Amino acid sequence: MSVLYLVRHGQASFGTDDYDRLSDLGKDQSRITGKHLAAQRVAPVRIVHGEMLRQRQTAEGIQTGLGSGLDPHIDSGWNEYQAWELTGALTDPDPRAQKDSKIFQAELERGAARWASGDYDGDYTESFKEFTTRVNTALDDACATMSSGESTIIVSSAGAIAWTAARLLGGGFDQWMAFNRVTVNTGITRIVTGRSGTSLISFNEHGHQIPEKVTYR
């Protein structure tokens, strides 16, 4: 069997003028994740990340901790959906969501339900169906690239990882949202693939981070 380690990016810079960059804690989380994977004797043949800065910075931190000299591959299929676009499309957005992560989460879930309904696709750069289709393709491509016994590390974001887990369990929007809600920064989701198919082995492992360093945004 081949193994895919799907890692959420480290803590980003919520509440600042540029969310798409790691905080100092996020950089620490990334290096700790790499050291953890090295201790588990994970030796990936490739490292992949989406186009977002926070994903690239996390992959760099993982490589530092892992001691890997691999050149990362970029696959836009692992990009996150545009969260601020979802909340911005609401007719009555709560302005406190820009600074309060709990309020933002509630607004995001309202926005995601509207997005996934398919009734307002013209309001978004990417529809929910288009989002899930590209994530499905990215997973299929990653699995097809691996030979027997190989491993790959992919750095992505909560929405894409949550959808991958929901898909492999045969779930839909509700399962996706439940996973999306609890995905931890640098949480590790393990997937195995082989002749019998592709299966979810574990979701959101984060025991490598001490409780004080566990974050959700």
From residue 122, alpha-carbon distances to 84, 127, 163, 173 in Å are 16, 8, 22, 20
Question: Residue 17's pLDDT band (boundaries 50, 70, 90)?
Answer: low
Q: Is 92 inside any structural domain? A: no
Q: Considering the domain boundaries, does residue 115 fall inside one?
A: no
pLDDT tens-place string over residues 68-115: 999 999 999 999 999 889 999 998 888 888 778 789 889 999 999 999
Which structural domain range is residue 57 located in? 2-81+126-213
Tokens found for residue 75 = 């696959």
The amino acid that residue 111 corresponds to is G
Helices (H), 67-153: 83-88, 101-116, 128-145
The domain that contains 171 carries what CATH number?
3.40.50.1240
73-74 sheet: strands from edge to edge: 73-74, 46-49, 151-156, 2-8, 188-194, 197-205
Q: Is residue 86 part of a domain?
A: no
Residue 41 located in a structural domain: yes
pLDDT recorded at residue 18: 66
- Number of structural domains (the chain) is 1
For residue 121, the one-letter residue type is D
133-159 pLDDT, tens digit per residue, is 999 999 999 999 999 999 999 999 999
Residue 143 lies in a domain: yes
pTM: 0.94
How buried is residue 53: exposed, middle or buried, by Cβ count under 10 Å (0-12/13-18/19+)? middle
CB 209 within 8 A of CB 37: no
In a domain, 30, yes or no: yes
Q: Three-state DSSP class for 47?
A: strand
Residue 101 lies in a domain: no
Task: Supply the DSSP symbol for 17.
Answer: S
43-77, pLDDT tens digit by residue? 999 999 999 999 999 999 999 999 999 999 999 99
